[in-house]
């Protein structure tokens, strides 16, 4: 019998580090909005997703920004096995009223699935136009 249990970890390798990795994701121009967040994505060729967060000062003070980041990291940790694999995702947060963890999970999942569909469309279109 196959082991279908998932480990709900958020390892160091699953984080985006440095300006260049963030810039690479932004340059891919795969963006989708879901409520107060914008998810930017790029295929990474790995068997797992990596997450980066951008929470500007206009979202609130340090306490509010850190709370949003903790909730988004937890939402990623709990729902990463439902996501399509192999994407680098940067989440940009706009000012909003703090939401519940389940809402952040739903927003992230929706945005990532839309990015995956958009990437599939782009790949199919590029394959058809290449001689």
Q: Which of 114, 111, 113, 118 is nearest to 93 (CA)?
A: 111
The alpha carbon torsion through 71, 16, 42, 76 (nearest 10 deg) reads -20
pLDDT at res. 2: 43
C-beta of residue 82 within 8 angstroms of C-beta of residue 49: no
Beta-bridged to residue 41, according to DSSP, are: 30, 89
- In the predicted model, is pLDDT for residue 104 greater than 80? yes
Which tens digit of pLDDT belongs to each residue from 32-70? 999 999 999 999 988 888 999 999 999 999 999 999 999
25-129: which CATH number, 3.40.50.1100, 3.90.1640.30, 3.30.1330.80, 3.30.230.10? Answer: 3.30.230.10
Which tens digit of pLDDT belongs to each residue from 84-98? 888 999 999 999 999
The whole-model pTM stands at: 0.85
- In the predicted model, is pLDDT for residue 122 greater than 80? yes
Residue ranges per structural domain of the chain = 25-129
| Mean per-residue pLDDT, 101-130 | 86
């Amino acid at each position: 019998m196959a082991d279908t249990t998932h480990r709900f970890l958020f390892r160091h390798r699953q984080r985006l580090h440095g300006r260049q990795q963030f810039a690479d994701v932004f340059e891919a121009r795969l963006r989708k909005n879901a409520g107060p967040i914008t998810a930017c994505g790029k295929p990474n060729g790995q068997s797992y997703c990596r997450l980066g967060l951008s929470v500007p000062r206009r979202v609130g003070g340090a306490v509010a920004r850190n709370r949003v980041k903790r909730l988004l990291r937890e939402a990623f940790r709990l729902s990463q096995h439902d996501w399509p694999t192999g994407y680098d995702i940067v989440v940009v947060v706009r000012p909003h009223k703090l939401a519940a963890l389940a809402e952040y999970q739903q927003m992230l999942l929706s945005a990532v699935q839309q990015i995956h569909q958009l990437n599939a469309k782009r790949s199919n279109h590029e394959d058809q136009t290449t001689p």
